[in-house]
Amino acid sequence: MKKKAKYNVAVVGVGAVGIEMLRVLRQRNFPLGELRVFARTAREIEIDAEKYSVKEISAGGFEGIDIALFAGTEGEKGASLQWAPIAVKKGAVVIDNGADFRMDPRVPLVVPEVNAKDVKRHKGIIANPNCSTIQMAVALWPIYKKAGIKRIILTTLQASSGAGRQAVEQLKEETSRIASGGFENVQVSLKTKAMPQQLAYNVFPHIGSFAECDYTNEEWKLVKETHKIMHDDKIKISATTVRVPVRTGHSESVYIETKEPIAPQKARDLLKKAPGVIVIDDPKNNLYPMPKDVEGKDETFVGRIRRDPFVKNGLWLWVVADNLRKGAATNAVQIAECVISSLK
């Protein structure tokens, strides 16, 4: 692909992330030539009063496409396994939001604020990291560069939208049933239950499937993806991922132990200057990031930056981002922008 004024783009999938991809392309004034939208079945959709014609995905549909954004399906084998190699053969650069290619050593895993240069190593496919990994990497990278990081311990509080549209509907319906008929009414099974447990008025530490050491695969993603993005597999990372009754916006309680001392104020100053980061850190006045305030925004928000009084070089951070935007769609479009910037 050569540098030009406009680029033909395909968006594959029109679930929650695919819809956000279409929205972000428009809002960021991406240099779009032709836009094609693909899914398993053809239909018409409307996003923010703008209509899109969705075509049934086919090999011929990728003819003339420069960049293919695959919306991806977390926890399952996504459409990219079948269609990404075909798109690459047709000449497209594939940016995949699913998990299928993330740990492939031939495929760059990119958070543009951290490792944008890795896009130059692509062989046709670039992977978009997991939503929780993205926001943590954005928040920790400026501190990592300044003081190094030996250890990360985190708990994620992940919104229902991270599990897709059906999980959001489950939260909505459960909340409505409880409000109208009490807690016993919520036990009525939904037609399509997305969550393994009741989500309304509840939290549960189970995202993904259980794997090695009784960690879930969602927890292992935070470990392995962070190592790959930061090019440092010596960081000790331990995570617990929790589903919470929030519509959109993942929150993370992140504890780090740095190699070199760094004062909380120095960390704040670094983060205030960092691309893609907004610091809201005035807890005495009840000011700190919350998911209700970051929905629809592209930045990663950081607050509650404080020293561990018992461990040398220990630091706490509270990190919040819109999981459908920076955690998925926006990061993918930013990768596409990096690809364009790298062209000659």
Four-point Cα dihedral 5, 119, 332, 301, nearest 10: -120
Of 122, 206, 213, 250, the active-site residue reads 250
Q: Backbone phi, then psi, for 186, in 5-degree steps?
A: -75, -15
Q: Which of 331, 233, 254, 340 is nearest to 5 (CA)?
A: 340
Task: Tell me if residue 250 is catalytic.
Answer: yes
Task: Tell me if residue 131 is catalytic.
Answer: yes
What does the alpha-carbon distance between residue 77 and residue 70 come to, in Å, rounded to a whole number? 12
What does the alpha-carbon distance between residue 2 and residue 5 come to, in Å, rounded to a whole number? 10
Within 157-263, where are the H helices?
A: 165-181, 217-230
Of 131, 206, 231, 338, the active-site residue reads 131
Beta bridge partners of 318: 253, 303
Residue-by-residue DSSP string for 19-35: HHHHHHHHHTT--EEEE
What does the alpha-carbon distance between residue 175 and residue 186 come to, in Å, rounded to a whole number? 8
**Residue with token string 């190094």:** 148
Q: Which positions ≥6 away from 275 have C-beta within 8 Å? A: 113
Spell out a b/e string for 316-331, using b for 16 or more CB atoms within 10 Å of the CB, else e.
ebbbbbbbbbbbbbbb
Distances in Å between the Cα of 313 and the Cα atoms of 42, 258, 269 are 55, 5, 17
Strands, E assignment, the chain: 7-12, 32-39, 43-47, 50-56, 67-70, 93-96, 125-127, 149-158, 236-243, 250-258, 277-279, 300-307, 314-321
- Residue 236's CB is within 10 A of a number of other CB atoms, namely 11
Catalytic residues, by residue number, are 131, 250
